[in-house]
Structure 1
Amino acid sequence: MFGRVHEWSKHHVRLMDALRVGPLAALAILMAWPYVAAPAQGPPGMRIGVAGYLLLSGALLAPLLWQRRRPLAAFAGVALVCFGQWLLAIDLVPANLSVLVALWSVACTRSFGWAFAAWLVAELGVFLVIVRWDQVTISTFFSGSIFVVTVWLTGLYASTRRRYLEGLEERAERAERERDQQARMAAAAERARIARELHDVVAHNVSVIVVQADGAGYAIDSDPEQARQAVRAISRTGREALAEMRRLVGVLRESEADATDYTPQPGLAQLAELVDGAGLPARLRVSGEACELPEGQQLVVYRIVQEALTNALKHGGPGVRALVELVYGGTDLVVRVTDDGRGAAAPPGSGGHGLIGMRERVAMYGGAVSAEPRRGGGFEVLARLPVPLTRAA
């Protein structure tokens, strides 16, 4: 609600200025009755009459309509009207409080130098009023200036608070921009790494197609059955290669680093070795009817398990143990990595790009991944990957 009011006030500046002057104007109107009822032989302040009173009050209040946009000009206007009032020996009126309002605006919105100058002018006004209508003593001057000093200090505090909040907002916006930029850079780097890893998978499939095609060409006359099996293998491998190529279109990025890395990429066959060499007590459990997965998906499963075990080792604390589960469900494969470490109590990581990499990999195959602390303690990484229909059958 306050946010909507703030936005509305930003688009209706003049109306908000008028509303700020409203209470003081209402007070001036309510206090006009003595000037209407006073006889002509009354005090000097009464002898100006109701018309003069309203004119003086309007002259004192009018500059406040510009106090937000031009606080210095508003303060100068009020101060000049007050000085003219002093020269004409006109008694004080409720609208003279506009000096304090203008002083607060200058102290709140302008530099300390201007605020200090406005305070000196206000103190001079207090001194002139005491000289005209009272005996000048330290106590009377202190009593008159205490309101001026209070308003001035309140304006300085509001200025300091406003600048502090503006600095916080600026730092928050800069941190958010840097965070988004780092996330984009991390995603781009991860896509480039995925592209390099999947290059070997696609190259392998194409090589299989070439070998099977050559074998079918040699066996088509002497062994037709073997040729048919080779053609079926070509068809299946070609579909896999085409699917991998389509996924690569969205993740290919230029990268000069590791351009000559031709190391074969790991898969499910190397998963047990990964778990055994994780650096912490870990077990591998496979349930359901296992099926053959494309090498790209095997690589995704391997990297998810690798990242989860690394996080458990880094953040799980001493004596942490992990369990890696692969659950084949016919149409999907569930990868769950749990540990009994510190979970939510673990200190936050400095990079935070591991989960981004998991999401990028799983999203390529239409899956989903989550990583969060468990209720009873520890941490859980859960990924669900759809299994190709031909493989599931």
Structure 2
Amino acid sequence: MLGTLWEWWRRKTPLVDAVFMAPLIVLSVPMAWNAYDDIGPPPYLLLTLALCLPLVFRRSYPRTVFAIVALVSFAQWGAAIEPIPANGAILVGVYTLAAGQPRVWGIAAALVGELGAVMAALRYAVNPGELKAIFVMLTIVVWSVWILGTYISTRRAYTRSVEERAARLERERDTEVQMAMAAERARIARELHDVVAHNVSVIVVQADGASYAIETDTAKAKEALETISATGRHALAEMRRLLGVLREGDDAGSYAPQPGVGELADLMDQVRSSGLPLEFEVVGVPPELSAGLQLTIYRIVQEGLTNTLKHAGPEAAATVRLHYGDQAIEIDVTDDGRGAAAADDGRGHGLAGMRERAAVYGGGVEAGPRAGGGFQVSARIPVREEART
């Protein structure tokens, strides 16, 4: 409640300024009835109002208000009217310009106030000693007010910079979150491509085999159909797991772990069951690998075999060689199929995905037809902190 009232009060700047102006009027009015010269109360009342009323609009029109107050004070000096408390309006104007306007306007207002101090000392001092005292006192007051206004201006600028920095950091945080979400979606898209392309390739090969064998070898046709069923279920399970990552606020439970090098043997069995002769060779002692690096190795091998199933042809055979070296992990997926003669529909993203995955760990992928026929995919991933022997 108090906070709401304070915010309302701060928005009513003319009302606030009128409240702060009231003490000047209260202190000046009694002098109108106690005036010791011959001009009488009305001129004092008019002078008080002329000095104080413009202050109501000091924050809306600070320079105009200061100019009016300064001119009224100059007219008072020219008419030799004694200073009154309402002359403090000139100090309010100096503070307003120093606190809320560019530095040059604050300095200009202070110089005008200093000029007023000199003129007041010359006009109202009785003797040289009093002249000096009045001048020093008024000078100290004018520049103290200017220093206070300058400090408030600096403080406000600092507060604004802190608020702007906080707002900028919040925007940058939101941008980073959006970028992270976009990167995660791109990763999931690559995962979906690997999963769907590999499993659909296996299903297509098995379906072709079943169509050839259904009339001559029922057992093999049945085995092919069982492989198609199992592969389809596996593909659906992985797709559900990956798409589930995109669900916001889904706390249904943890998803299945990402495949790694331990699942490569199952991948080889799955590919062999599709009818592709396959050799799997592991050289060296596998080091301790992070989950991300294991997934990268698995997907590179999977994508290489998917390309073989799609493009190598019906009589092809493949070899997968995984070499764990001291400096790098090397992956070779080769086949003796069509090679350069294989048709390319231009819509695949497998090679690009493999290169992106390897690049994350500072590695690279080379792919192309072999000199003696067939196709080869070779990847090399340096052993860094991700792989500790």
The reply to whether residue 118 of structure 1 matches residue 109 of structure 2 is: yes
Report the counterpart of residue 370 of structure 2 in structure 1. Answer: none
- Counterpart AA for 1:211: V
The reply to whether residue 153 of structure 1 matches residue 155 of structure 2 is: no
Report the counterpart of residue 168 of structure 2 in structure 1. Answer: 174
Q: Are the aligned partners of 2:29 and 2:48 in contact in 1 as well (CA < 8 Å)?
A: no
Give the total of aligned pairs: 264
Report the counterpart of residue 62 of structure 1 in structure 2. Answer: 53
> Structure 1 residues 239 and 278 mapped into 2: Cα distance closer, same or farther (>3 Å)?
closer
- Counterpart AA for 2:159: L
**Structure 2 CA distance for aligned equivalents of residues 70 and 244 of structure 1:** 68
Q: Are the aligned partners of 1:268 and 1:299 in contact in 2 as well (CA < 8 Å)?
A: no
**Structure 2 CA distance for aligned equivalents of residues 52 and 171 of structure 1:** 53
Shift of 1:88: 1.9
Shift of 1:142: 0.7
Where do 5+ consecutive residues of structure 1 fail to align?
252-264, 285-295, 304-356, 358-393
**Other structure's SS at 1:43 match:** coil
Shift of 1:118: 0.9
**Other structure's SS at 2:93 match:** helix
Q: Are the aligned partners of 1:267 and 1:299 in contact in 2 as well (CA < 8 Å)?
A: yes
Report the counterpart of residue 48 of structure 1 in structure 2. Answer: 40
**TM-align CA RMSD:** 4.1
User: Which residue of the other structure, out of 184, 199, 208, is the alignment partner of 2:202?
Assistant: 208
Shift of 1:107: 0.7
User: Which residue of the other structure, out of 14, 19, 26, is the alignment partner of 2:16?
Assistant: 19
**Structure 2 CA distance for aligned equivalents of residues 151 and 2 of structure 1:** 30
TM-score when scaled to structure 1? 0.55
**CA deviations over 1:6-33 (Å, ceiling 9, x no partner):** 86467x3xx2232123133144235524
Structure number, greater radius of gyration: 2
Where do 5+ consecutive residues of structure 2 fail to align?
247-258, 266-281, 300-359, 361-389
Shift of 1:76: 0.7
- Counterpart AA for 1:119: A
Q: Which runs of 4+ in 1 moved over 4 A?
A: 1-10, 221-229, 242-251
- Counterpart AA for 2:40: I
Report the counterpart of residue 89 of structure 1 in structure 2. Answer: 80
**CA deviations over 1:113-160 (Å, ceiling 9, x no partner):** 221111111111122222222235333311222111111111111112
TM-score when scaled to structure 2? 0.56
**Other structure's SS at 1:147 match:** helix
Q: Are the aligned partners of 1:195 and 1:248 in contact in 2 as well (CA < 8 Å)?
A: no
User: Which residue of the other structure, out of 277, 286, 291, is the alignment partner of 2:287?
Assistant: 277
- Counterpart AA for 2:162: L
> Structure 1 residues 7 and 221 mapped into 2: Cα distance closer, same or farther (>3 Å)?
farther
Q: Are the aligned partners of 2:21 and 2:55 in contact in 1 as well (CA < 8 Å)?
A: no
User: Which residue of the other structure, out of 29, 32, 45, is the alignment partner of 1:32?
Assistant: 29
Report the counterpart of residue 119 of structure 2 in structure 1. Answer: 128
- Counterpart AA for 2:77: W
Shift of 1:242: 5.2
**Structure 2 CA distance for aligned equivalents of residues 81 and 276 of structure 1:** 92
Q: Are the aligned partners of 2:210 and 2:221 in contact in 1 as well (CA < 8 Å)?
A: yes
- Counterpart AA for 1:171: R
